[in-house]
Amino acid sequence: MADEKDREEIIVAEFHKKIKEAFEVFDHESNNTVDVREIGTIIRSLGCCPTEGELHDLIAEVEEEEPTGYIRFEKFLPVMTEILLERKYRPIPEDVLLRAFEVLDSAKRGFLTKDELIKYMTEEDGVSLRRPG
């Protein structure tokens, strides 16, 4: 029982170190705050891939009651620790991405042209999703 608790404490300590290091890269004033616009980059650097909606919810959770445009480390640390412990927002596995790519690469060339990529990213069932202009 104590071994499991010790192991969990070590894992949490390692997460805290990684989170602090990632946060400090963007703490340009060295005052334990980062610009709210950097939070997505920090979270992704820690191996998490939240959607834009999930990221917006996370920011709302760690922002001050009166948003200042900055996030304090003290508020970010426990939220990010929980995310890492729960393995939330994991990236899509490489084999799944590869299979998706192979579906698009029907000619089996190992690449998509710029035009093909634009078509796949901007059309649905042959209908353009691009805005005019």
Cβ–Cβ under 8 Å, residues 40 and 55: yes
Summarize pLDDT for 34-93 with one digit per residue, the tens: 999 999 999 999 999 999 999 999 999 998 888 889 999 999 999 999 999 998 988 888
C-alpha 28/C-alpha 57 separation (Å) is: 24
Whole-structure pTM value: 0.70
| Structural domains present in the chain | 1-90 (1.10.238.10), 92-121 (no CATH)
